[in-house]
Each structure stands twice: as C-alpha cells, then as structure tokens.
Amino acid sequence: LFVTAGPDAGIIEYHVDQGPWQEQDLFTRWSSGLHIPWLHILAAELDAHKEHTLQVRISGKNHPDSTGHACRVVHLAVNGGKK
C-alpha cells in the first residue's frame, strides 16, 4: 500500500481474504516534518493464481507524535504472476 505519510498519519486496520485484522502504523520517523511517500507490504506469499481481497479501515488510534488519523492511499502495489 503506497501512502503519503504526513504529520497527521494514523493507524490503519486491515485484513486479507477475511483473515484476522492487523494494524499498520502509517506514521514514520520523518512524518512530523513532511509528507513522505511510503510503501507498506501488508501481505506476502499469497497464491498468485487466486483472487484476493484486501479490506482497510482507519482505526481510532495514532502514533503518539501524530496529529491525526489520516490515510492517504496513492497506489496499491500488487506483485504476482499472470493468471
């Protein structure tokens, strides 16, 4: 998940293929001073021959240094072979 992580970056909750919900903090050590492009790998080693579903929601949590709960998705990265 490519995001822009700025001073107000929050924490997302996500799951893949109805698996357990997991958290990902989008705030980086550079986020306080700028909006930085950042890639988060949310799943790996998925079967490339099957369809997968990613569900993302914004949690009410944030990093102690963050000023908000923002999630700015720029791109969705998918790595895998052709079907």
Nearest to 12 by CA among 51, 46, 52, 63: 63
2-53: per-residue pLDDT in tens?
Answer: 999 999 999 999 999 999 999 999 999 999 999 999 999 999 989 888 999 9
User: What pLDDT is recorded for position 81?
Assistant: 61
Helix (H, G, I), strand (E, B) or coil at 41: coil
Select the more confidently predicted residue: 79 or 7: 7
Round to whole Å and give the CA distance between 13 and 66.
Answer: 17
Q: Which band of pLDDT confidence, cut at 50, 70 and 90, is reported for residue 65?
A: very high
Domain map (residue ranges) of the chain? 2-75
Spatial distance between the Cα atoms of 10 and 26, rounded to a whole number of angstroms:
6
Identify the pLDDT of residue 82.
61
